Amino acid sequence: MAKILIVGNPESPLVRERGLVGQEAGHQIFWFYRHQVHIPGVTSFGLPGHLARLPRLHHFFEPFYLADAIKNIHPDLIHVHFASKGLLAIPLSRFHPLVVTAMGSDISPTVGYRGLYAPFTRRLLENADCITVKSAYMQQMLRQIGDFAYKTKRVTWGVDLDLFRPDRAVEPLRRKMGIPENALVFFDPRAIHPLYNKHLVLEAFRRYVDAGGTKAVLLIAGFNADKRYMNQLQKQVDESRLRKSVLFIPQQNRFNMADLYSLADIVVSFPRSDGFPQTIYEAWASGRFMILSDLPQYRDELRDGITARLVDLRDVQALADSLNWVSQHSEARLAAREAGPARARAIADKNVETEKMNQIYVDLLTKQTKSAPH
């Protein structure tokens, strides 16, 4: 059993889930974050409360507290989730074996990999013993930073295919939410943040409704909400007289999210930038047709008109037209119920991906043991 230190945001459900995969192989998990967070079976480290609450200034204290945590834990391996860690790269890049999981925005030159922190991200990637990414497109982004192909592994992390599936019983949920039986359900599962352009999704939905589209409701997930943006969206709903047709869904656990995917007829996501999001795997596994912004990283895996429609981010009317097209083409939605789960089984089975990640740990720990002085 090894001691693995995770460095990442445990308040993100996905990061927390991924950080704990080592437990399935019997490893002892430790966690470092800005402030200590209670995670069952995990020893957590972070800044004292008064320092953690300092706006921006906490970044300057974190490297010292991380170095102290490493000294106290004596971890056998460190796994960093999200490559853009700023000054934390200084103590992290001295440690081996080091795994870095890139998320997408952290290595994108248009989002996270720019400005003062870009050199720290590059230093962390250069000193990592292994880098994991989810897609071929992310591998291409890495090549713009440096030649890391020799130590890059593709790990999709996957989804629980017993949980996310097309045939969940969701009629009680439909009745509880007051959604008419004959209404289509559009579902936007992304975080409420300007990056995900939910205001454009709302505008397209308004145009769809005003044009006499099939009766429908739009569900908007509400996790990690930017409060100012949330207020803007709610005002937009009120001004568009869509209050009865748009439902904001508070943060849900994974079980309830699986229900929402099964309740939906169409999944909508319109980000201006992305890696390869978990929501695509979840929609695949749930057999749901998707309407997505036309990003190059999506084109590697999604075929337009088969399991998804890819829409020009600059064209809100095209998004509205796509909502209408999918509402009129039930055969496309039915085809996605077969093609999506098949694709999820092929590349996004959580059990397979967990074994893959734990094998990476084994390989690095074994190599470290062999190279250690005797």
pLDDT in tens, 120-129: 999 999 999 9
pTM assigned to the model: 0.89
Q: Residue 13: pLDDT above 90?
A: no
For the cut 60, the answer to whether the pLDDT of residue 374 exceeds it is no
pLDDT of 368 reads: 81
Reported as a single tens digit per residue, the pLDDT across 129-150 is 999 999 888 999 999 999 999 9
The DSSP code sequence of 153-212 is EE----B-TTTS-TT---HHHHHHTT--TT-EEEEE-S-SSGGG-HHHHHHHHHHHHHTT
Q: How confident is the model at residue 372, as a pLDDT? A: 64
Across the range 310-317, mean pLDDT stands at 95
pLDDT per residue over 341-363, tens digit each?
Answer: 999 999 999 999 999 999 999 99
Residues 6+ apart with CB under 8 A from 228: none
pLDDT confidence of 276, banded at 50, 70, 90?
confident
CB-CB contact of 311 with 291 (8 Å): yes
pLDDT in tens, 200-239: 999 999 999 999 999 999 999 987 789 999 999 999 999 9
Name all domains of the chain by residue range, CATH numbers in brackets.
3-158+349-371 (3.40.50.2000), 171-347 (3.40.50.2000)
Q: What is the DSSP letter of 85?
A: -
Contact 44, 21 (CB under 8 A): no
DSSP lists the bridge partners of residue 309 as 291
- Strand ordering across the sheet containing 308-311: 246-249, 216-221, 184-188, 266-269, 289-293, 308-311
- The span from the CA of 57 to the CA of 96, in Å, is 28
